[in-house]
Amino acid sequence: MRLFFELTRRSLQRQMTYRAALLAGIITNFFFGFLRMAILVALYGARTEISGVDVQGAITYMALTQALIGYLSLFSWYDLMRSIHSGEIAADLLKPLNLFTFWLAQDLGRAMLQFILRGVLIMVAYALVLDLAYPTTLEQWLTLPIALVLSWLVSFAWRFLVNLAAFWTPNALGIGRFFFIMSWFFSGFLMPLRYYPEWVQQISQLTPFPSVLNTTLDLYVGVLHGPELWRALGIQVVWIVLLIGAAQGIMRAGVKRLVILGG
C-alpha cells in the first residue's frame, strides 16, 4: 500500500506541473457549460419539468457534467496505450505491483487533482452566478461521496479495459475513440438519460456508462432516492467487479503475447 500511495502522490505532483493546461481546462469547461445549459433548457419550452427533472435540476445537471469531465476523464485517456506502443510497458511490468493496480494508483492522483482544481472550482463558480439545486436529504449527502468514488472506479476500469486493445493492434486509438464517443451518449453526458426514449435507456443499462456519470448526477439532483438509489449504487459495484475481472483476464492474455512496439 505504501508504494500505491507513493505512486498516487507522484501522479498528483506531476499533474500540478501542467498549471496552464489546468487553467485552460477550467475556463473552457466553465464557459462551454453555459452553451450546453441553454440548449438543454430550450428543450423545456413551456414545461416545468421533464421526467421528474425541473429546469433548475437540468441546469445543475449540466453544471455537474462540466465539473466532472476531468475527474472522470470523459473525453480521453490513452496513457496505457502509449505505454504499450512505446515499449515503456516493459518497465511497468517489472514493478512490484499488478499492472492494473499500478495504473489505478496513478489515475487516483490525477483524479484527485482534477476533482479539486476543476470539479470543485467550477461548481463554486457556477454557484456564484446560477441558481443551482443542492441535495436536500441526509441520504443524498451521505451517498454522494460513495457514488463519486464508485463512478471513478467504473470509469477507470472501462478505460483501462479499452486501452488493453493496444496489446493486439497498433491502431487501438480508433477503438478507444469509438468507446469514448459511445460513453458520451450512454453515460448521460450529453443529456440526462431520463430524457431519452425508453428503449434507448434500456440499451444504455446494458453498458457500464450510466454508472460512470448518470447515477451520481441523478442522485445529486434528487431523482434517485430510497430503494432505487441503493439499487443504482449496487449496479455500480457490479460493474466494477465485472470490468476489473475482465481487465485482469485480458491483461494476462495481452502480456503473454506482448510484442514491444517502437523499440
Residue ranges of domains in the chain: 2-256
CA proximity to 11, closest of 125, 156, 213? 156
Determine how many CB atoms are found less than 10 A away from the CB of residue 144: 14
How far is Cα 102 from Cα 96, in angstroms, rounded to an integer? 9
Task: Give the residue-averaged pLDDT of 27-49.
Answer: 91
Q: What is the pLDDT of residue 259?
A: 54
Q: What is the pLDDT of residues 85-98, one digit of tens each?
A: 888 898 888 888 89
**Average pLDDT score over the chain:** 92
Q: Between the CA of residue 90 and those of 10, 81, 138, 154, what are the distances in Å? A: 20, 13, 48, 26
Task: Give the residue-averaged pLDDT of 94-121.
Answer: 94
**Which residues is 50 bridged to in the sheet?**
53
Task: Give the residue-averaged pLDDT of 15-36.
Answer: 88
Q: 245-250 — which CB contacts under 8 Å span 24+ positions?
A: 246/161, 247/100, 247/157, 247/160, 247/161, 247/164, 248/98, 248/100, 250/161, 250/164
Contact 194, 201 (CB under 8 A): yes
Task: Give the residue-averaged pLDDT of 241-247.
Answer: 98
To which H or E segment does residue 123 belong? helix 121-129
DSSP 142-156: HHHHHHHHHHHHHHH
How far is Cα 83 from Cα 93, in angstroms, rounded to an integer? 11
DSSP 57-115: HHHHHHHHHHHTTTTTT-S---HHHHHHHHTTHHHHHTSSS-HHHHHHHHHHHHHHHHI
How far is Cα 63 from Cα 25, in angstroms, rounded to an integer? 14
Q: What is the pLDDT of residues 159-208, one digit of tens each?
A: 999 999 999 988 899 999 999 999 999 999 999 999 999 999 999 999 99
Cβ neighbours of residue 74 closer than 8 Å, sequence gap 6 or more = 65, 68, 155, 180, 183, 184, 187, 189, 212, 213
